[in-house]
Amino acid sequence: MSQAVGQQIDADFFAKFPTSAKMYQQACTLFPSGVTHDGRYMKPFPIYVDHALGAHKYDVDGNDIIDYWSGHGSLILGHSHPAMVKAVQEQVAKGTHFGACHELELEWGELVRQLVPSCEMLRFTSSGTEATMMALRVARIATGKTKVIKFAGHFHGWHDLLAQAAEPPHDDKTYAMPGVTDGVSEELVILRPNDLELVERAIAEHDPACLIIEATGSRWGVVPLAEGFLQGLRKLTEEKGVLMIMDEVISGFRVAPGGMQEVRGIVPDLTSLAKIVAGGLPGGCLAGRADLMQAIAFDNPFGQKMKHPGTYNANPLSAAAGIAVLKQIADGEPCRQASESAAKLRAGMNEVLTRKNVDWVVYGQFSIIKVFPGYDGPRPTDDSFVPYENDFDRLDRKHDAQLGHAFRCALLLNGVDWFGWGAMTTAAHSDEEIDFTVKAFERAIDAMRNDGYIE
């Protein structure tokens, strides 16, 4: 690319978001790279949001922006849903942290148990990372084994036990992770997804305590799970005596009230949940078989207890928010609405790309949208389309970082905030927001072409 590439988009970005630019300067003196989450890092700077409602958020410069981050996936009803706001406002006046058991944790737990097929008992955590970390420790205590099978490209939080191989490139099969010791990594068996024979061989070779899988495929659907793969894994793990952990941190209460396990008709041994379970506030949980969850109990049959403190476990505010939202989504209608909006958006964006002769493609499942630049295959024919026939090596790859920053800037200039190369809709995304987004996407494509990012 020439030095002139990107100049107009950058100039327009500084002009539209001057207060955010100033705030980012301060942020760089406070936080590494100026951000508090890796995903929020962008060039030339991220925007700063003042408030949000429904499918919209409003930045510090007064811009009205349609949001597709959906709270990193934690929102299914949109921002500041009235039922959630009312519940939290009432609870904050009563207390935010009792340092004691409380009635709301019972109601919250019962709702999770009613909705999630695998949930016989559960334990609340403060995040999805904590929930998957707990799942592995419970599995090791229950089985007396140590090895864990995970799939390349699948993300289960940033802790040492599962962070490896979550992102491409996948050509270095050592999957070394900065800051993670070799001893920890050696307990992890990393496999390509969608290959049941490979899983069966790995089980025979390593005799693992458990297998963990992201229920929508790598990083919420970059490489979707093949038809029948989850069911095949459930059958195989049952036959081989390996615990199956489904990571439903993203898919739980999003694809359906009972998550992907409801959609696919299977019951895993353990399920990690977060995001929507806490109604958009911090919170998660591990749910599953009652006998396995006894690993956290005092004087349990395993003869050893998993230690589990956690200052904000089941705190009253998160409980209040979680209860309010889970009641709203229990009939499945918000999940259906979000998925329907996403399907319309995918179709609209692909129509733009075809008409503009741009070598990108859009795909996804349920309320998830994925954008794949530099695509050289056939165009989508229906909403079940996956690029390259779901070939892991061709799909799960790094895209040009400069292009990614330009894409996000171009969309923001046109009133849309996109979650990197992916996005999630909520029940608050109406046809009006979808139509606006398709038009904004077309304008963004034009701007990127004019700036030399797209031929």
**Amino acid occupying residue 46:** P
Assigned token pair, 86: 């009312």
Residues written for the chain: 455
- In terms of Cα–Cα distance, which of 251, 224, 254, 219 is closest to 38? 219
Q: What is the pLDDT of residue 368?
A: 98
Do residues 301 and 294 make contact, with C-beta atoms less than 8 angstroms apart? Answer: yes
Point out the residues of the chain with pLDDT beneath 50.
1-3
DSSP-based three-state secondary structure for 366: coil
Give, rounded to a whole angstrom, the gap between the first and last alpha carbons of the chain: 11
Task: Measure CA 158 to chain center.
Answer: 13
Neighbouring-strand partners of residue 192 = none
User: What is the SS3 assignment for the chain?
Assistant: CCCCCCHHHHHHHHHHCHHHHHHHHHHHHHCHHHCCCHHHCCCCCCCCEEEEEECEEEECCCCEEEECCCHHHCCCCCECCHHHHHHHHHHHHHCCCCCCCCHHHHHHHHHHHHHCCCCCEEEEECCHHHHHHHHHHHHHHHHCCCCEEEECCCCCCCCCCCCCCCCCCCCCCCCCCCCCCHHHHCCEEEECCCCHHHHHHHHHHHCCCEEEEECCCHHHHCECCCCCHHHHHHHHHHHHCCEEEEECCCCECCCECCHHHHHHCCCCCEEEEEHHHHCCCCCEEEEECHHHHHHHCCCCCCCCCCCCCCCCCCCHHHHHHHHHHHHHHCCCHHHHHHHHHHHHHHHHHHHHHHHHCCCEEEECCCCEEEEEECCCCCCCCCCCCCHHHHCHHHHCCCCCHHHHHHHHHHHHHCCEECECCEEECCCCCCHHHHHHHHHHHHHHHHHHHHCCCCC
DSSP-based three-state secondary structure for 330: coil
Q: What is the pLDDT of residue 183?
A: 85
Q: What is the pTM of this model?
A: 0.96
Neighbouring-strand partners of residue 124 = 285
The string of pLDDT tens digits covering residues 73-127 is: 999 999 999 999 999 999 999 999 999 999 999 999 999 999 999 999 999 999 9
Q: Dihedral (C-alpha) 438, 442, 444, 445: value to the nearest 10 degrees?
A: 130
Assigned token pair, 392: 């892991």
Q: Which residue has the tokens 């898919």?
A: 251
The string of pLDDT tens digits covering residues 365-412 is: 999 999 999 999 999 999 999 999 999 999 999 999 999 999 999 999
Q: What is the pLDDT of residue 3?
A: 41
Question: What does the alpha-carbon distance between residue 345 and residue 364 come to, in Å, rounded to a whole number?
Answer: 10
Greatest alpha-carbon pair distance for the chain in Å reads 68
Q: What is the pLDDT of residue 95?
A: 98
Q: Which residues have CB under 8 Å from 451's CB, separation 6+?
A: 5, 6, 7, 8, 9, 406
